[in-house]
Structure 1
């Protein structure tokens, strides 16, 4: 308001001093820049947008998807069902009030998924914030008090009270990181563009920043280190105080904090083209700020990259807590804190394997479970839900992310089928 008042006062002074002729010349230079929808929303003004893009639920498509789900293998007592049809469904954020689940994509849409009658099947899927243009809005995350953050390719916006405002086409929205300021403009790429975010126990916003290469050239490393490309950055929720929290990461597309001790865990996709069985994918445990996880000196696990095999790696490299199967594309992950599943799953990690693309025999397309001990060490990692990859190598689905609903069931997104599945126990 103070800024607007100063602007009005300045404009009045200028117009008085210019006179009519000078004013005519000024106006002849062209109209002022039109206010963007984002600027209007930030001032709680309407944009004029009234229509939602709505996704039809049920019908023949839903029946076909459920037919595939009938083939999925799960431990005894569990069952999987279709929760929602959501085009290009990627990472998810479940609202803290249990009202809406926000689903990102690698395209231009963000979806709001609502189960109004609480029968554990979505009744409505519609575009979130239709007056805003998104660019690869892959990563939504909620704060405990209901602020929604969406990490795009090169921007971060916040939507206060999104769980209640999402019913309107106009949703209050503000910049956390303006367009072009999350990474350098010259480093924007079509590769490794999917960001994910999470609010940490410290109240700060954590964002993964995959670097764009299979293995980057040495001259890129200093710039990447400065910006946190090939790492994880954290900042205050207003965008201030940005710092690089994690180094030596190739392309993480999944992170969560251990509720038992606040430690950060994250998946990492490792170097392609080194062979079917190397290097391993990674599930990493970070115990302190500033740790280095070895990329690009290591391509995954303890496997050195060809490009950096003759160079001395950092002395303090942290190796993965779990070496996952090579090229399975480990993406979203979550610590299970629900009460529906048996006690053996409490505090463990569910993670999604998207499935390989550069392996002679495909692997992945499943949900994994890793048990985590009270001291933070890991137990066994085993398949939990599988069957989206046939023996003939055909993908019937490609899991991306996993989240827990308030009732303790697990939801799984699939960007190939364009759907969200729900896994429940004993019900």
Structure 2
């Protein structure tokens, strides 16, 4: 645990040069491939795409771990796929291929060909293109796949049907999400979603524990510490929300078309403060309080002498401090009991700067009839050993499969878990 917020900020500053790099030769080949792909031309890449082994000792160990995950009566947890460094997920609209991002340099396509609810194949997706932190993946309603990397966005038309071909057509819609000088591996994982307005929304974290005052004008202009949106072709970019320290998960409520998002709060303020956040953005232009507030209504030392904006929007739900709430989804399917329909599932990655670890679980948040939050409760846990403090897994994202089951990605164990109800 860091001894002070200064130490945390210093680490963030040092991380400014920690963005994954590629060799000059590899980057040149990737750039050439990208140009060909945008012109729907073959790159001449190998037709053999690297696959991830789905059997063996690792798979058996993961199956044993699945049996230890605790869920409500009537539910069961199974291993769906072995996926190294699995982060955010996007489920295809028709075939149900699950595209999985990572914080490394690879993305994956996960396929259940025989419909037995276990993945048969896990392949690298578009391996001819060098990627940097391809964490955020999302689909449009009409079947286009976006991948939001650390500092660019790629578009893959018809990815669900042509993913097996290494020469997938690709269009870059934005080659600079943030200024190059502000790149940092710290808080550099993007997430994306296509809204009911047919615009692409992207979360942009800022690299510091608490934003230095001299950085705020630039960050506000760029939408760092916030959420931006743009047309699907990358044009007409605008800042949708500010005052967000580092959101790594968002989703629109299909009932009222309102955007909700998680936010990870300031480190080094103690075990039990500040609270984690689940927020609701009912309109564009709202400010959610950071950096004046470290989380909830807890003021930061760095900004305690400044007057916060008068219209700060406080969290809809206060989550456990430092539990690291990341991916979230509304449950709009019918497999689960009525209690869960229309509610929100949230993946908690787990704490790293708390004397007693907390998190590494999936939470459920029920909603009231007016669309506001009701209460949060634990839905699935067991990835964290309370006695030893050891993590066996760390949930990152949740997604609803076409059959209504819940998929949970886990970047520590390198797996996707499947939670189902009934037979």
TM-score, with structure 2 as normaliser: 0.92
| Structure-1 separation of matches of 2:272 and 2:174 | 39
- Mapped to 2, the partners of 1:132 and 1:371 lie a distance apart of 41
**Contact kept in structure 2, 1:130 and 1:170, CA below 8 Å:** no
**Pairing partner for 2:394 from 378, 383, 398:** 398
Instruction: Determine if the alignment matches structure 1 residue 48 to structure 2 residue 44.
Output: yes
What are the ranges of 5 or more consecutive residues in structure 2 without an aligned counterpart? 1-27
1:74 aligns with one of 71, 74, 97: 71
Match of 1:308 among 297, 303, 327: 303
1:35: how far off?
6.5
Larger Rg computed on CA atoms: 1
1:225-265 Cα offsets, whole Å, 9 max, x none, are 00000000000000001000010000000000011100000
* Among candidates 181, 199, 204, match of residue 204 of structure 1: 199
1:263 aligns with 2:258: yes
Q: 2:83 aligns with which of 86, 99, 120?
A: 86
Shift in CA distance, 33/410, structure 1 to aligned 2, threshold 3 Å: closer
Contact in 2 for aligned 1:158/1:176 (Cα 8 Å): yes
CA distance in structure 1 between the aligned counterparts of 2:222 and 2:413, rounded to whole angstroms:
35
How far apart, in 1, do the equivalents of 2:233 and 2:367 lie?
A: 33
The corresponding residue for 2:407 is 411
Instruction: Answer yes or no: is the 8 Å Cα contact 1:98–1:405 preserved in 2.
Output: no
Q: What is the CA–CA distance in structure 1 between the aligned matches of 2:35 and 2:301, rounded to whole Å?
A: 48
Shift of 1:199: 0.3
| Post-superposition CA distance 1:271-306 (Å, at most 9, x none) | 000000000000001111010000000000000001
CA contact under 8 A between 2:86 and 2:416: conserved in structure 1? yes
Checking the alignment, whether the CA contact within 8 Å between 2:143 and 2:158 is kept in structure 1 is: yes
Equivalent in the alignment of 1:286: 281
Q: Which moved more, 1:197-206 or 1:44-53?
A: 44-53
CA contact 2:30–2:130 (8 Å) conserved in 1: no
Deviations 1:142-192 (A, max 9, x none): 0011100000000001001000110101100001102xx110000001200
Matched, 1:420 2:410: no
SS in 1 for 2:160: helix
Matched residue SS, 2:134:
coil
Cα deviation, residue 98, structure 1: 3.1
The question of whether the paired residues in 1 share the 8 Å contact of 2:84 and 2:414 is answered with yes
Identify which of 157, 160, 164 aligns with 2:161: 164
C-alpha separation between the residues in 2 aligned to 1:34 and 1:378?
45
C-alpha separation between the residues in 1 aligned to 2:60 and 2:31? 45
The residue that corresponds to 2:212 in the other structure is: 217
1:33 CA displacement? 11
Mapped to 2, the partners of 1:44 and 1:190 lie a distance apart of 32
Aligned-residue CA RMSD (Å): 1.2
3-state SS of 1:38 partner: helix
Shift of the alpha carbon at 1:213? 0.2
